[in-house]
């Protein structure tokens, strides 16, 4: 439980800010597609070395980057939009990854790859999660201004600097890196949840970017603690419990968040009718 808590907190610290940028770029579904894109690489690592952290991590990283680059090339070379290209590669990757795992492993191995095992994190996995989280925060701090400009006005960024393309590629690399790290704890199907649900919740708690970052990290950490405690006392699987906790906080944010929540939208309307 202690290892699971440390790993989940480290994952929330790095993945939640990346999720905020994905949301602001209107790329939320792209994150989901790329989460599944790492599956064939992880499955290939599983075929070579079994449930080996280095092999599956390297394989997942290569597959995720390859799918992101392939989708970008298809978008630029054809009339197909980026979301459609990612969706096509996502379906292909998911089917290929499940097939590869099934060739050598059992149903238990397949469930481990798809849904992770946060209670089985070892020292190597914790080092990976901590390293990815630290690298993500340092990189986001270094590229903060061009990342924000690209979210707000990519045309202006392109007119004053040529950094737009490289910054976009670095950001996609951070997305893949955090998804690969999250895969070790939550599997390919759930790793994107700790990235996007806290970010979506944060949009209802602050209208400023700094506040959204803080709220997203807070929601991710609270979800991790609540999910672990709920799993311990109820016996439900830990990974899904964490994502369910994040989903409950998201629904609560929709209802009570001060930055556009339903309750706060209704209060001024009632006052206006009374007056």
The pLDDT of residue 275 is above 70 = no
Give the integer Cα–Cα distance in Å for 182 and 184. Answer: 5
* Domain count for the chain: 1
Give the integer Cα–Cα distance in Å for 167 and 82. Answer: 17
Tens digits of per-residue pLDDT, 93-141? 878 887 887 777 666 666 767 767 788 888 888 998 999 999 999 999 9
**Segments forming the whole domain that contains residue 61:** 2-274
SS3 content of the chain, % helix, strand, coil (to 5): 85, 0, 15
Domain containing 26 — which CATH number? 1.10.3470.10
Note whether 182 and 12 are within 8 A (CB). Answer: no
Q: What are phi and psi of 259, to 5 degrees?
A: -105, 65
Tens digits of per-residue pLDDT, 35-56? 777 888 888 887 787 767 788 8
What percent of the chain is modeled with pLDDT above 70? Answer: 89
Q: Which of 123, 150, 6, 125 is nearest to 57 (CA)?
A: 125
Tens digits of per-residue pLDDT, 244-271? 999 999 999 999 999 888 988 887 655 5
pLDDT at 243: 92
Note whether 33 and 86 are within 8 A (CB). Answer: yes
158: number of Cβ within 10 Å? 14
The angle formed by the CA atoms of residues 147, 149 and 152, to the nearest 5 degrees, is 115
pLDDT at 110: 65
pLDDT at 196: 92
Cα 143 off chain centre by = 19
Label residue 210 exposed, middle or buried (CB < 10 Å: 0-12, 13-18, 19+). Answer: exposed
Query: What are 88's two structure tokens?
Result: 């096509």
1: number of Cβ within 10 Å? 12
Mean pLDDT of 56-75: 81
196: number of Cβ within 10 Å? 24
The pLDDT of residue 241 is above 80 = yes
Phi-psi sector, 110: left (phi>0), alpha (psi -120 to 50), beta:
alpha
Q: How far is residue 218 from each of residues 22, 103, 222, measured CA to CA in Å? A: 18, 40, 6
Mean pLDDT of 198-214: 94
Q: What are phi and psi of 38, to 5 degrees?
A: -80, -10
């Amino acid at each position: 439980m202690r290892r699971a808590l440390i790993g989940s907190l480290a994952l929330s610290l790095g993945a939640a800010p990346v999720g905020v940028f994905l949301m602001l770029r209107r790329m939320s579904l792209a994150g989901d597609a790329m989460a599944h894109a790492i599956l064939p690489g992880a499955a290939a690592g599983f075929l070579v070395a079994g449930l080996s952290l280095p092999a599956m991590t390297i394989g997942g990283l290569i597959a995720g980057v390859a799918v992101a680059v392939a989708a970008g090339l298809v978008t630029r070379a054809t009339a197909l939009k980026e979301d459609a290209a990612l969706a096509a590669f996502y379906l292909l990757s998911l089917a290929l990854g499940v097939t590869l795992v099934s060739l050598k492993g059992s149903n238990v191995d397949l469930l481990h790859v798809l849904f992770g095992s946060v209670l089985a994190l070892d020292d190597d996995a914790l080092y990976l999660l901590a390293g990815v989280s630290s690298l993500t925060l340092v990189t986001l701090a270094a590229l903060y201004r061009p990342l924000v400009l690209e979210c707000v006005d990519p045309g202006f960024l392109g007119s004053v600097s040529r950094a737009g393309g490289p910054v976009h590629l670095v950001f996609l690399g951070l997305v893949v890196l955090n998804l690969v790290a999250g895969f070790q704890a939550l599997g390919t199907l759930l790793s994107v949840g700790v990235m996007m649900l806290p970010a979506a919740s944060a949009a209802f708690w602050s209208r400023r970017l700094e506040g959204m970052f803080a709220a997203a990290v807070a929601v991710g950490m609270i979800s991790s603690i609540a999910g672990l405690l709920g799993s311990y006392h109820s016996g439900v699987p830990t990974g899904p419990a964490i994502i369910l906790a994040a989903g409950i906080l998201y629904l609560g944010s929709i209802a009570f968040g001060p930055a556009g929540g339903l309750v706060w939208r209704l209060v001024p309307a009632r006052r206006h009718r009374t007056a």
